[in-house]
Structures are given as C-alpha cells and as structure tokens.
Structure 1
Amino acid sequence: MSEIIENTDSVSELESNESKHEKKEEYAYLEKGGFSSEKFKIELRGLPKFYGIVELKKLMNEKLGLNASKIKRPRVSSNWLFACFQNEEERNKAITALNGYSWKGKTLTAEEAKPAPDPLVRKRKQGNSNDAQDKKKKEMENKSQEERLKDATTPYWNIPYEEQLKIKEKEIRQLLMKYDNEMWIKNFNKRSEIEAKRKLHNGLSFDLLGIKGSPVTEGYRNKCEFTVGYDEENQLTVGFRLGAYATGTICVGPVAELNHISDAMKEAVILFQDFVRKSNLPPFSPADYSGHWKGLTVRHSSFSNEIMLIVLMHPQDLSQEELDKIKKDLIDFFSTEEAVTCGIKSLYFELVTKRKSGEEPSKAVHLMGATHIVDSILGLQFRVSPEAFFQVNTAAANILYQSAIEMSEVKSDSTVVDICCGTGTIGLSFAKHCNKVLGLEMVPEAVKDAKANAELNGVTNCEFFTGKAEDILPSVLARAASDVVAIVDPPRAGLHMRAITQLRNAYRVKRLIYISCSPASAVKNFVDLSRQCSKTLRGAPFVPVRHMIVDMFPHTKHVELAVLFEREKIPDTSGNVELPEGYNDYAYF
C-alpha cells in the first residue's frame, strides 16, 4: 500500500514539475532580449464612461509626473485597462499616484497586473491537448493559407461590392444612432428638438447622405506595410501576417492573390523577397527578438506610376561596416533594369529597434533615386515622402475632398483652418474656393512638404504652422477672418480634448468639417463638440447637420466618415447673437 502511495506521490510530483515547466515556458519571453511592455504593467479600474486615451496619458504623464509607455485597452469598451511602464520603480510610483485618485467624478483603483502568457506557447499547448477545438478554430484550420490571409486583410473579399456598401452604411447608421442618443441624454433642454428632427431624418436628428463607393476597387492602395517572415512551409516570405501575435500567429502569407494591392506593388514585393532570400540574414522573429529583416513599406503613385521602397531592418549586433555593405547591396540590386522597369524611383533604409518611452522614432535614410514620389488629388500634385500622410485610396480621396468642399459651403471671403493638415492635401484642395488657408500640423517634416506642395501647385494663399493643435490653435485663429471654416482630419484616435475645447471656445468658427477614418473612435469628439455649455466648454455647441460616408477601403470593414457641424445660434430679441451663460470675451480668439 505504501509503495502505491509513493508511486502516486511520484506521479503527482512529476505532473507538478511539468506544470511548473510549462508555466515557466509561457513567461520565458520576459527574460529574453528586448523590452516587453508586459513586464511592468498595472491594471487601472473605475474609469469614467467617456474619456480619451490621449487625455488619460496627459493626466498620468503630465499632471501626475508618471511615465506610462503604453496603454492597452480591452477590445470591448470597458471601465478598465492596462498601463505599462519601463521598470518596477515607475510601476510602483504609478500605483501609489493612481490608486484612490478622483478623476471626472470617478475614484480610480490601481494594482499590479500579471504579465500575459506568451500566445505562441499557449497555442502550442492547446494544439497538443485533446480538448475539442471550437467551431471557429476548426473552420480556420480547414481554410487554405490564401483564404486565411484574405480574411485577415480584406475580410469582405468574397462579398459583392454593392453588398459591402450596404453593410458598411448599416453599421455607420447604427453607430450614429448611439451618438444621437448620447446627444439626447447630454442635452436635456434640447430633447424635444432632437425628437422633432428625428421624424424628418428617418430616425436621426441630422442628415445621413448615404455611402459613396470607391471608383477603384481593385489594387487601390497606394501604400502598404509588409512583414518579412516565414510562411507555413517555412519559406522566407514578404507579405502579411496570417493573424495577430496575440492569437499565437507569426506566419506570413504571400500577397499575390490579394485584390487591394496593385500589380506594380506586388512586383516590387517579389523583387525585395528575392533580395532577402539571397542574403545570409534571417528575418526578425517577434517570438525571441532574433533576426534582422523586419519589413518593407511600399508607396505607389497611380498618377506617375512611381514606386518608393522603405526597407526596415533590425541591426542586432551588426557592425557599421556590415550595415554599409547591406546598403550598398540594396543600391546595386535596385539599380538593375528589372527594378527600373518595375517603376522603383526611390529607395530608403531604416533601422528599427525597440524604443523606450521618450525616445525619438528612427528615421529612414535615403539610399538612391528621388527623395519623393508625386501623386495627384483634384488636379493638384503632391510630393509624397516616406513619413507623409496621404490617403491610401487616391481615387476615393478625390470624392472625399470634393464632398468636403461642397458640404462646407465655403465662400470666397472665408478662412479655412486645416487642423492636422499633414502635407496640406485638404487645405490646398480648398484654396481656390476661399480667401485663405491656415494649416496646423505637429510633424515638422509634413509642414515642409505642405509648403513645398503649395509652391509646386502655385498656391499663394496658404500658410502652414508647426505645433500641436491644442497649443497653437488660438494664435492661428487670430490670423483668420470673420467667417471661419475648420477642417479636422485627425489620426485614428481623434483630437485631443484641449483642441476640442479651443474649437468650442473660438466663436468665429461657424462651420466644422470633421473627417474620420475611425468613426467609432471619433464619437467621443462628436459628443464633446455638441454637448451643452459648461465652465470649460464656454462656446456655443456645434450641431451635427450632415453626415456622408466614403468607402476609402473596399473589401475591408473600414470607411471614412465626413461630418458637417454648424455653430448653434442663440438669437436674442434684437437679432444679435446671445452668448451662452458663462461665455466671456476670451472665447473670441
């Protein structure tokens, strides 16, 4: 009997050791090379219903003197998230500062969070188990690599285009209905007015003009960022990931059958793939941070048929002499007749390593050819640099910008303030319809491009300024005439709350066009633009008047949404504008 017990204990001890080994393996990535944001993170709970990541970072880093390097939100909207730090001291400081802190009427709680297990290890363990896989996983396993890549990059690839447009319009309508309801909740004294408007606009208190399809649905992207890795047959490939690392996927699939990439871009990818395969260097591995080749960014102008390549590489321990040799080999390879025939006019090289908080991002180094390529929107030409923001679907951008001009009702004596102007594409498109354009952009290189684009097109009524919108908007608005139309085309996360406040309090801004590539993220900005006056938002609200959808991204779930807001007018008995309570002269910039 004692022998059986001893054997049982041995089995239990063996199973326990195996479990400990598996658990250790799941977290081995924390001790490998490179910094992981999972190592020093906290869980922050009790957040208010409406807040922005930018304003949360401002609270943490500027007001409380913390040093958050990354914010990780759950996929489903919730009142909690993870905040990551560089070391244990910074994490502990954050817990002390945030736990019990009152923000927007809510009391926050902060505590240390455990790192997530390595998804690759977890997936391997699941693969070795005998547990039944769920239906979705089995369906994925039965699909070919090509089908899974299409599902990952262009999920609507097998849906007729007209049906895609109907799906997208329905989804945006549902999103706007939630926004409309939020306005009803926030503006108690306007509920009857909102309800009356809903009867006129098919359930919404504003016009929804419907969706405009892209004139080009195949090979429409003028910019793509490709990954270097191994496909499922262990062949070195330049393409797209079959799934996210978080799902345990690092395999890369080839792009030959994807319908949103042009043939010229595919040829350039294959050329670079040949170069990488002939080199003696392996691709970078996100699993253990080894390897060198990371990616390839390709920009392709349908106007000039020019191609720009930006090669991305991790240097690891390569010497400067070895890096110089790689650069020379790239120049020689892409100077061949085959590369020239493909349309490659510009080549850049960029070293990419893990950045620490506060570090400047790496810069691409020009190797050969032109420093820019040229593309065109609404008859204007624009030079495109490696870092420049340029709408990825040039044909649909023509529709988007022309529609924005028409929606704005801009006049010959109007001043257009282009916020987040990038390289000036929107502002320059407005220039011939107004008196003056004032552009704001925080990226200095983009402002240089905007000025160069104005000169290239002979446009003389545009000025561009460098700085954050929330910092320089008042001084720029001081240069504006009485009739001001603001155009906002912010990054995916939307505008900083301070910029929204500046717009609300700048009463000379009568109309506002808000363009968003992520309508779900922009809804918070919409709510703040249209909420009733307060001590902070002193200026009269902006009222949503018209919404229009442009399908900038065929075969995907994404769209561009353009919204026309008009400043609410509160006339008194004499016919003059009555200022809302709490509004003062400082609101007139």
Structure 2
Amino acid sequence: MLEYTEIKTENTENTHEVKPATEEYAYLERGGFSSEKFKIELRGLPKFYGIVELKKLMNQKLGLNTSKIKRPKNGSHWLYACFQNDEDRSKAIKALNGFSWKGKTLIAEVAKPAPDPLVRKRKQEDGEGVQNKKKKDDGKSQEERLKDTTTPFWNIPYEDQLKIKQNEIKNILMKFDNDVWKISKERRNYIETKRKVHAGLSFELLPIKKSPLTEGYRNKCEFTVGIDDESKLPTVGFRLGSYVTGTVGVAPIHILNHISESTKRAVLLFEEFVRKSELAPFSPADYSGYWRYLTVRHSSFNGDVMLIVAMHPQNLTEDELNGIKDSLIQHFSSADALACGIKSVYFELVTKKRAGEDGSKPIHLMGSTHIIDTILGHQFRISPEAFFQVNTAGADILYQSAIDMSIVTPQSTVVDICCGTGTIGLCFAKHCKKVLGLELVPEAVKDAKANAEFNGIENCEFFTGKAEDILPSVLARAGGDDLIAIVDPPRAGLHMRAVTQLRNTKKVKRLVYISCSPSSAVKNFVDLSRASSKTLRGAPFLPVRAVPVDMFPHTRHVELAILFEREQTEDETEENQQAKIETEEPQSEETLINED
C-alpha cells in the first residue's frame, strides 16, 4: 500500500498537494519539471469529444494553462490534465469542477502522481529474481528485442509484409467508409452500389506499391546516448523500451537492416568520442549526465552525411562548452570521418522546456550548412530541422502517385498544404500553372524558396503560418477554376479549421491527402466527406481512389494517398451544362442547308 502525506493548500477549495513518502515518488523533488507534479483528474466527460476540442475549451474559453492532457488506456470518459504549477492547477479545478459541457457536468479533482516506472520495475525485478526476469523476456537476446522494437517485421518475408499492410489499410478505409455511411443517409444507396464494384469499399483501393529499397533505406535516424545493459558502456543506439515501461537501456544498432552502412559508421565514430570523453550520458532517471542524442542525415544522392550532436549542458561554463565544440570539430575532421562521408556537423544544447517555450536550435560547427538529396530529378537542400521523407527512393513512388492521381493539367493551380521544404509542390510545378505552398516552420519556408531557385522553378510561391490561419488568404490568390489541394500534414492530421476552409472554398475541385498515419487521419477523411452543414458549407469531397505506398519496410507503418473529388450539386451540374452549350461553336448556314 502506497503512503502519501496530504497537505491542504491555503485558500484553495478541494485541492491539496500530494507529498509522496516512498522512493517511487522521489523524482518529484528533483530538479526539472514533471507533468505529474501538478495533475488533475477530469471525469464526467461527454461520449463524443476530441482532445483538440477539449484543449480549446480549457485554454481558450476558460483561460487555463494546460501543459499536457493524458488519456488513460482504460478510460474514455475521464482523463488527466497537467499544469505548470499549483496556482494553475487550482485555477483549473475551480473552473472545471461543476462546469457543464455538451450536456455533461464535469468533475475535477487533484490527481495523485504516478509512481516512477523505472523504480517500480526494478523493485519488481528484485522480487522476481533473475530467473523470473529471463522468463519474462521470453528467452530473447538483446538483439532480438531491439529488432522487435524498431523493425517488428524483420523476420517476415517482404511480400508477406506487403499483404499485412494492404489488409491493415483496407480495414482502416472500411472504418472510414462505414463512418460516412452512418452519418450520410442520403448517400447510402450510392455507397452500397459502389461497394459491390470495389470489393467492400465505395471507392477504389489500388495494390500497395513496393519500396524500391528494403535495406538501409532510412536517410534520417535519431539515436539515443545511454548505457548498454550488456556491456555497461556508454552506447549510441536505440532504447529497448520507454521510460514509462521502466526501460532506459540503450542497445547498439549494427544489426538493424533499415539503417545505411554510412549511418552506422557515423554512429560508431560518435560513440568512440562519447566513450573517450569525461562526460556521462544523460540519465532520464535522475536528470544527471550530458550526452543526449545524435541525429544522422544521409544523402542517397551523393552519400554526404550530416550530424546533429545534442547534449544537456548541466552546469558547464561557456568556456567548457566551447572546449567541447572544439573537440567535436577536431574529431569529425579526421580521415575516418571523411571516409564516413561526414560533411556537416551541428551542435545542440537540450534542456527540459516548459509548455509554450521554444526549443533550442542547432548551432553549425563545421562543414556545409546543408546536404543535398533528390526526388523525381529535383535537388533539395536539407537543413538540420527540415522535414524530408525518410525513404528517398520511396518518395519518388509516393510523389509520382500523387501527381498521377491528381489529374493535374497545365491550367491547374496546386495548393500545397503543410509543404515543408517544398518537395511535393516543386515536383508538381512542371505539370501545372502555379504552386502555392503553406508551412508553419519559417526555416522550412526559407528552404522551400531556396529549393525553387536551386531548381530554376519560377511558378511557386511559399507562405509561412498555420494552415488554418493563412489558408483563406492563400486560396484567394489562386486564379483559374481548376484548383487542386495537396495535403501532407503531421501525424495527427489537419486542424479542423483547415478542413473547414477547404470545404468552404468551392474552387477546390480535387484534393490529394497524403498520410503517414492513416488511422489518425480518419476523422479528417470523414469531415471532408460528410454532408454540408452550417459550418461545412461547401459540397463534400468524395473519395475516388486510394493507394498505399510502403515507405517503411520491416515496420508496421505505411503511407497512404487518397484522391477526393468535390461532389457536384444539381446547381453546379446545370451551370456546367449551360456553359457547355454557350461555348459550343455555332454551325454555319451552309452546313444547315446541306443537312436539309
């Protein structure tokens, strides 16, 4: 039974500070911020709600400073909300407890912090003994456990991997199709008729497209610096689990088949530097130590390698940090580094940041500021933080699929939403009249403009801002009647306001949605397809064709591209027919006489 010391907080009703009395809660008193320290439990939530919607209620409408929301595995009508301090937590409880939302009365109370998972696991292992621990690991070696964690399909033939992914995508799309069927009574006959044609779906699902490379295909990897449980030495690799599961051990990556040999050599070179240094790896258990992670970017075009070395500065002085930078420059100027293809090195200081704070930026140490890679014959410069598809050869397949399914013409205007460094839009450029790109990250927009100039492409413009904020003004700049939207959002999908803007801009006739997490994007798919309403005034987009592309061999992940076409209303159909009649060339008098 866990013991707590509860202290009533002054001038605050129904709140108290939980003072843990056991080793499992010692982390709360260490340096650094923990989201567990100022946590509330929120119950009585309505049946249907979204996390984004709840955050909007809490932070915008009620003026609360929520730093994190955690949904427990076994709860749909309750969750945890975390705050930065006790004052913010108390304010939240006062505002939320008894608040009526969507017909439900919310209950908000102080939540006890979770025990340290690492301490808890170690206690369990001490009680189980070594033999039981080995049984728990199913007798697997560290190498096998690492493969299972990072490349779970490593021992499945590639053709079978493709079948698994094809079936998974079909199941996700059937859920999407069923959701639309439930909310669209007027389209049920249409959906059911189409399903007879497309094997259970109301639209076409093409066979999954293979990755041209299945070994060493990743051009970007982020490695953790920690202690190898077997060798007990500082190691640059991947964790065998997460801190939440009580695992902080790091295993070497030389046996993994999705990482290139150049990347592996660069990792070993940095590992050599870490082991020779007098600084220990950072420990998430007690926030001690220095070395955090290494990011490696590898160009498939010319073999160039970029490194971003990240460390926690702790209490190091400016002179000491400058000395570390000089040592890194010297180490990566060696013949071994040149043989690895290392052409660019950055250095980053990482400290635990609070919600709303900007993270640190990498500092250029030596070599080139960018590396170059290619997609569909275009060259792109890649900066440390730029988004670039991790499978370059697979990106050729994905982007060409998007171009083909979009039915783009020389008269089309393409709006590239979440454009990153402009890769998709620039690949579309030669097929259309104009490309307009939107991106949140200013550095990425700079790269996109530079990439356009680098490739001699003049029909592209790029804009900085949130898609949901700047989309109306960008769409207003689009001329012509054939407007195509290309959407490649982050894993969580598009903000609902961006979906609303797309629905309400009638000039957008076709939309290609590219998702790296199709299950997370289903809500976006449904909102694009649902019937018109007061909010979604424009006619719905109907799915026409979907194609999965295997960008991540040996893993469960797969990219999906879906073509949506705007449903034509009766008024629009009549307008099109009238326009066709008016533009038909009139017959000459001579022709009419001959016909008589």
**What do residues 189-233 of structure 1 show as CA deviations (whole Å, max 9, x unaligned)?**
211221111111111111111211101000000000000000113
Quote the Cα distance in structure 2 between the aligned partners of 1:281 and 1:207: 57
Q: State whether residues 3 and 20 of structure 2, in contact with CA within 8 Å, keep that contact through their aligned partners in structure 1.
A: no
Amino acid at match of 1:174: N
Deviation larger for 84-93 or 67-76: 67-76
Quote the Cα distance in structure 2 between the aligned partners of 1:448 and 1:212: 32
1:178-193 paired onto structure 2 within 5 Å = 178-193=175-190
Q: State whether residues 416 and 486 of structure 1, in contact with CA within 8 Å, keep that contact through their aligned partners in structure 2.
A: yes
| 1:36 paired residue number | 34
User: Which residue, 266, 269, 282 being the options, matches 2:267?
Assistant: 269
User: Which residue, 43, 54, 57 being the options, matches 1:56?
Assistant: 54
Cα distance 1:23–1:248, how it changes in 2: closer, same or farther (>3 A)?
farther
Quote the Cα distance in structure 1 between the aligned partners of 2:227 and 2:250: 6
Query: 1:534, CA displacement in angstroms?
Result: 1.4
| 1:248 paired residue number | 246
| 2:117 paired residue number | 119
User: Which residue, 138, 144, 151 being the options, matches 2:135?
Assistant: 138
Q: State whether residues 485 and 512 of structure 2, in contact with CA within 8 Å, keep that contact through their aligned partners in structure 1.
A: yes
| 1:90 paired residue number | 88
Query: 1:63, CA displacement in angstroms?
Result: 2.5
1:461-540 paired onto structure 2 within 5 Å = 461-481=459-479, 482-540=481-539
User: Which residue, 374, 377, 382 being the options, matches 1:376?
Assistant: 374
Q: State the aligned residue count.
A: 561
Q: State whether residues 50 and 524 of structure 1, in contact with CA within 8 Å, keep that contact through their aligned partners in structure 2.
A: no
| 1:584 paired residue number | none
1:198-209 paired onto structure 2 within 5 Å = 198-209=195-206
Cα distance 1:16–1:357, how it changes in 2: closer, same or farther (>3 A)?
closer
Query: 1:48, CA displacement in angstroms?
Result: 4.8
Amino acid at match of 1:421: C
1:150-549 paired onto structure 2 within 5 Å = 150-233=147-230, 234-481=232-479, 482-549=481-548
Q: State whether residues 488 and 512 of structure 1, in contact with CA within 8 Å, keep that contact through their aligned partners in structure 2.
A: yes
Quote the Cα distance in structure 2 between the aligned partners of 1:140 and 1:447: 47
Quote the Cα distance in structure 1 between the aligned partners of 2:47 and 2:406: 32
Deviation larger for 378-387 or 525-534: 525-534
Could you say what secondary structure the match of 1:129 adopts? helix
Q: Percent of pairs identical after alignment? A: 72
Deviation larger for 534-543 or 292-301: 534-543
Q: State whether residues 516 and 560 of structure 1, in contact with CA within 8 Å, keep that contact through their aligned partners in structure 2.
A: yes
**What do residues 101-139 of structure 1 show as CA deviations (whole Å, max 9, x unaligned)?**
4445555433322211111111112112259999x9835
Could you say what secondary structure the match of 1:294 adopts? strand
RMSD: 2.3
Deviation larger for 108-117 or 30-39: 108-117
Quote the Cα distance in structure 2 between the aligned partners of 1:446 and 1:287: 34
- Runs (5+) with no aligned partner, structure 1: 1-11, 579-589
Quote the Cα distance in structure 1 between the aligned partners of 2:254 and 2:307: 18
**What do residues 257-284 of structure 1 show as CA deviations (whole Å, max 9, x unaligned)?**
0000000000000000000000000000
Cα distance 1:77–1:518, how it changes in 2: closer, same or farther (>3 A)?
farther
Q: State whether residues 344 and 366 of structure 2, in contact with CA within 8 Å, keep that contact through their aligned partners in structure 1.
A: yes
Quote the Cα distance in structure 2 between the aligned partners of 1:76 and 1:64: 27
**What do residues 528-570 of structure 1 show as CA deviations (whole Å, max 9, x unaligned)?**
1111111111111111111110111110110101111111111
Quote the Cα distance in structure 1 between the aligned partners of 2:291 and 2:43: 39
**What do residues 287-338 of structure 1 show as CA deviations (whole Å, max 9, x unaligned)?**
0000000000000011110000000100000000000000000001101111
Amino acid at match of 2:395: A
Q: State whether residues 70 and 83 of structure 1, in contact with CA within 8 Å, keep that contact through their aligned partners in structure 2.
A: yes
Cα distance 1:548–1:133, how it changes in 2: closer, same or farther (>3 A)?
farther
Q: State whether residues 501 and 536 of structure 1, in contact with CA within 8 Å, keep that contact through their aligned partners in structure 2.
A: yes
Could you say what secondary structure the match of 2:206 adopts? strand
Q: State whether residues 55 and 497 of structure 1, in contact with CA within 8 Å, keep that contact through their aligned partners in structure 2.
A: no
Quote the Cα distance in structure 1 between the aligned partners of 2:220 and 2:466: 26
Quote the Cα distance in structure 1 between the aligned partners of 2:506 and 2:572: 20
Quote the Cα distance in structure 1 between the aligned partners of 2:165 and 2:472: 37
What is the TM-score of this pair, normalised by structure 1? 0.91
